[in-house]
Amino acid sequence: MSRFEWPVRVYIEDTDAGGIVYYVNYLKYMERARTEFFRKFDSGGNYIADDKSMFVVHSLNSQYLKPAKLDDTLIATVKVIKYGKANISMEQNIYRQRDVDEQSTGSEIEAVGELLCRGEVKIACVDRRMIKPRRMPLELLAGLKDL
């Protein structure tokens, strides 16, 4: 399955007193990338949330490998690992964007930059009123098959 990428800039509000990104902000970057990932499926239906359903985080596992710093340009990625009728598991990583002057060996990871944080997120589609699992829209399921 292909990988979706979303650029993120580190601002002062994202950092602690030492200019290092506060750990919870990596989760916010992942959330932004997931939201933009779902926007690409939006052709008339709102897959982020609508009157009947919405997506919620079911579980999350993350590892913080290296710090991002003030004014870094980051790339937040989304890659669908597997999905069912009402849930999606995604690999989500945060990379420091590679400088244009740096040489790359051409591998997927090196083309993006240095891996800072890696995670796996499982999200569930739920009924908005009952907050119980609900089948994802058929158009979204069909789009996931094409990845």
Give pLDDT tens digits for 29-70. Answer: 999 999 899 888 765 556 566 678 889 999 999 999 999 999
Q: What pLDDT score was predicted for residue 111?
A: 60
Secondary structure (3-state) at 55? strand
Q: What pLDDT score was predicted for residue 140?
A: 83
**Which residues touch 11 (CB under 8 Å, ≥6 apart)?**
70
Q: What pLDDT score was predicted for residue 23?
A: 96
Q: What pLDDT score was predicted for residue 38?
A: 87
Regarding predicted confidence, which is higher, 7 or 110? 7
Q: What is the CA radius of gyration of the chain?
A: 16
Provide the residue count of the chain: 147
Query: For residue 130, what are the CA distances in angstroms to 4, 54, 56, 80, 111?
Result: 31, 11, 13, 26, 44
Q: What pLDDT score was predicted for residue 100?
A: 58
Q: Which CATH number is associated with domain 3-145?
A: 3.10.129.10
Active site positions, annotated:
16
Pairing of strands 87-97, 3-9: unpaired
Query: What is the pTM assigned to this prediction?
Result: 0.86
Averaged pLDDT of the chain: 88
| Among 82-86, 97-101, 135-139, the least confident range | 97-101
C-beta separation of 122 from 87 below 8 A: yes
C-beta separation of 96 from 117 below 8 A: no
